[in-house]
Every structure is written in structure tokens, then in C-alpha cells.
Amino acid sequence: MKNLIDCPAERAVYFLGGKWKIRILFSLLQSKKIRFGELKKGLKTITQQMLSKQLKELEGDGIINRNVIRIMPPNVEYSLTEFGFSVMPILRSFSEWNKRNTRTISVKLNKNFEENRIR
């Protein structure tokens, strides 16, 4: 494979890659609609700047909707698009695979896995 575009699976992983995007998507799946502050609170260690960046990328990619509620002060709600919902079965499959293989994954990653990397 010469480049990323040649491998559809790798393209998909790259599209959703990053430390926070999958967590954001699962948060949106659980809440249906969620405000920026609630999302930030739920993700705990994410910075406001990083959350904003990830949300803009997800919105630009058509995975989430951004709805500005015109009250004072304005509120912004985020939700999954139809395209965003279409990726959730794949993410659930990854989650189930992890649950079924937790022991193996833990043993394999134990030597070089940094827990702080995912928090």
C-alpha cells in the first residue's frame, strides 16, 4: 500500500483518530444532545481548546451537528448526524472486542502502555 487512501480500514481509523474523538462520539450517543460545558465536564482532562478543535473537526467531517440556541448567553448543543450514527456499530464492535480480549490486550500492552495517554 503506497498511501493511506489505498487502505479503506486505515482511512476510517485515520478519519476518527485522535485521543478524544471516539470518547466524544460515545458521549453524544449516550446523551443524544449535549452542551459544550457538559461534554467538557464528562471528559475531565480535555482542555477547552482541544475539545473545541475536535468538535470543529467532527462537525467539518459531517459526523456531528452544532446547534446554536439563540438565548442570552447563547448555548451550543452538539448531536450526532445520521452519518455519525452510522459509525457507532463499528465503535461498539471495537468496544466488545476489547471486553472479550481484555486479558490479552492488557498483557500485550503492559510493557509499553501508558495509562495517562488515554485519560
pLDDT tens per residue across span 11-67: 888 878 878 999 999 999 888 889 999 999 999 899 999 999 999 999 999 999 999
Nearest residue to 36 via CA among 77, 68, 84, 69:
77
Q: Is 77 helix (H, G, I), strand (E, B) or coil?
A: strand
- Residue whose cell numbers read 498511501: 3
Q: What is the pLDDT of residues 56-100, one digit of tens each?
A: 999 999 999 999 988 888 889 999 999 999 999 988 998 899 899
User: Phi and psi at residue 15, in whole multiples of 5°?
Assistant: -60, -40
Say which DSSP state 79 is in. Answer: E
The pTM is what? 0.79
Spatial separation of the C-alpha atoms in residues 62 and 80, rounded to whole Å: 9
The residues pairing with 75 across neighbouring beta strands, listed in sequence order, are 69
